[in-house]
Structure 1
Amino acid sequence: MISTVKDLAAEALFVSCLQPSEDPNRATVEEAITTMILRHGSDGCAAGVATEFGDHPDVAVRRMRWVQAELAEVVMLRAPAMR
């Protein structure tokens, strides 16, 4: 289940208009993910990712790397502190 949620978040962020050059904070990333899921649903987000990988694979790979890095940072910031 967790990987499914993470995959959906990645697809939603991927299809968002958010750009790496904006250096978005956690709240901005989370808002973009929520907006895209509500706008396109899980199937629509997945379809957008598939289209981009089909049409522009070189650019899509770079964007997905950025998406994965952003999500790793969001997850790290949300993780409870270990004591």
Structure 2
Amino acid sequence: MNAVLSDALFLSHVQRSQQLPAELIRAAVTDTVDRIGEQRCAELVAQEFGEHPDCAPGRMRWARTAVQLAFH
């Protein structure tokens, strides 16, 4: 489940520099999953890693950390 949440945050409008509270992180994740769907999130993350291998890993590390803090 963390992978889905991290993928959704990775694809959301939220920027790493924003330092948002947990409730806004959760809202961004929920909005992205509702809008795109779990399967499409995974597909789009894979596409981003293919197109932007230089910056995608850093954004995913941030997304995983933010999800862990916001959902646990």
Identify whether the pair has TM-score above 0.5, normalized to the shorter chain: yes
> Do residues 20 (structure 1) and 16 (structure 2) align?
yes
> Do residues 74 (structure 1) and 70 (structure 2) align?
yes
Moved over 6 A (4+): none
Structure-2 separation of matches of 1:43 and 1:75: 20
Q: Which runs of 5+ in 1 are unaligned?
A: 77-83
What's the CA shift string for 1:18-73, capped at 9, x where partnerless?
Answer: 00111111011000000000000011111110110000011100000101111121
Q: CA RMSD of the aligned region, Å?
A: 1.0
Q: How does 1:26-45 map to 2 (within 5 A)?
A: 26-45=22-41
TM-score (norm 1): 0.81
Among candidates 5, 10, 24, match of residue 9 of structure 1: 5
Q: How big is the shift at 1:75?
A: 3.5
Q: Which runs of 5+ in 2 are unaligned?
A: none
Who wins on radius of gyration, i.e. which is larger?
1
The aligned length equals 72
TM-score (norm 2): 0.93
% identical aligned pairs: 35
Higher RCO structure (Cα 8 Å, ≥6 apart): 2
